[in-house]
A and B are shown apart, each in its own frame.
Chain A
Amino acid sequence: MNIEVKLFAAARQAANQETLSIEIAEGATVQQLKAELGQQFPGLKTMLDHLLVAIDTEYAGEDQVLQAGQDIALIPPVSGG
């Protein structure tokens, strides 16, 4: 299935775009998405260990399964305040 991934801050800058479109297997987990992103977008590779994934505006665990139509975002370490 194809999913869109929102990017922010250094991750957006590394990929040089605000959203990525990526093909992942049905039933893929957050961890598998991150591995796939690292392969297809080398600029993100060095960051992956530091990135969290949000699904529908909630932080997701590495084992959480992705579904079509969800709102997916990569969340680099936050620095508000």
Chain B
Amino acid sequence: MIELTQDTINTDAVLDSVASTEAGAVVLFLGTTREFTAGRQTASLDYESYGEMAQRKMEELEAEARRRWSLIEVTLVHRLGHVGLGEASVAIAVSSPHRGDAFTAGQWLIDTLKEIVPIWKKENWADGTSEWVHPGMPTTTCPETDPK
């Protein structure tokens, strides 16, 4: 199951989506909003995506993970819009006959998602400033005129 959603991620539904009597292992990864990054305080995050491409890239990740490991079900859910502290922005769940494949595939899926899926995070800092996070690119503080 691949999903981009504006809603709170329902982890029970994510786990249900990978449940199988063939499975000996289910691994669930949640990426959650951390309050402090290098000593700087975050108030919240906002995510946006290039929807069609993000969906396609997440489908490709699932297909590649299934080629590499023995998996039964794979679910990738990424949240968009406003995400509060402690809340999950991404959920990855995999089921497999044995735990090794589930752990390895889960790690690969989140690492690769963060590298290639066109989704962007805006840090809303506690001091009232905001900036888009673009690894490797000089930072820009968002002006009030941001249309989104």
Which A residues have a C-beta under 8 Å from some C-beta of B? 6, 8-10, 12-14, 16-18, 46-47, 50, 54, 57-59, 71, 73, 75-81
How many pairs of A and B residues are in contact by the CB < 8 Å rule? 94
Chain A residues positioned under 8 Å from B116 (CB to CB): 59, 78
Contact present for B147 and A8 (CB under 8 Å): no
Chain A residues positioned under 8 Å from B138 (CB to CB): 46
Interface secondary structure of B, over-half rule: mixed
Known A-B contacts A13-B140, A16-B145, A17-B147; the reply to A79 vs B133 at CB < 8 A is yes
- Which 8 residue pairs are nearest across A and B when measured between Cβ atoms? A80-B119, A9-B120, A57-B53, A79-B133, A81-B114, A10-B132, A50-B137, A77-B134
Which B residues have a C-beta under 8 Å from some C-beta of A? 31, 47-50, 52-54, 56, 78, 89-90, 110, 113-122, 132-138, 140, 142-143, 145-148
Contact present for A9 and B48 (CB under 8 Å): yes
